[in-house]
Structure 1
């Protein structure tokens, strides 16, 4: 099996409020609006974040995004009016900062993340 793209779906109840919040979070408007209640941001070469109206599942999502410079990323978020959680240590020099969207979905930014096999 060959996988061409990975799409992380974040379920929300109030689509327009969530779309605006994710625009601030990701620093730009959606890259694609394929349906009325779906917005997509391409965050890596083949990785996408989708915000989708799904009232039954809203608030149950977990989204992890590895970033190149966690301190700078958290500062950039603050400049866009999005207050990230405190940076905390995990294991193997990995650091985390978690934020909750308006529906209660958790978005965790990961710094110093390296895939180890």
Structure 2
């Protein structure tokens, strides 16, 4: 069975969110299907998208696990985005939580 992930993040302002996610994810969207959505393919069969839904903006929670946590974190910081908080779990897993302009949480763990 194939499994694909297409995770949506509700935002209130398309241009503001588009700019932040381009910076956070390191480039322009892979696809812009219409004037209220933008999609980034993160890996084969794994995508994240923003969608203008002001009534739901700020309630999104996404966590991406990466094999090179330190490299990812350093790259995001180099782009001018700092985590709102960092976490370390008893099993050694670390997580950096970033907040987009609406307050949606995008975690990067590893």
Q: TM-score, normalised by structure 2?
A: 0.93
Q: Distance in 1 between matches of 2:85 and 2:60?
A: 20
Q: CA deviation digits over 1:68-102, x for unaligned, max 9?
A: 21112111111111112454211322111101110
The structure in which a higher percent of residues are strand is 2
Give ranges in structure 1 of 5+ residues lacking alignment: 112-117
User: Deviation at 1:4?
Assistant: 4.7
Which TM-score applies when normalising by structure 1?
0.87
**Structure 1 runs, 4 residues or longer, greater than 4 Å off:** none
Q: How far apart in 2 are the matches of 1:98 and 1:37?
A: 25
Aligned to 1:115: none
For 1:30-45, list aligned pairs within 5 A. 30-45=29-44
Q: Aligned-pair RMSD on alpha carbons?
A: 1.3
Count of residue pairs brought into register by the alignment: 110
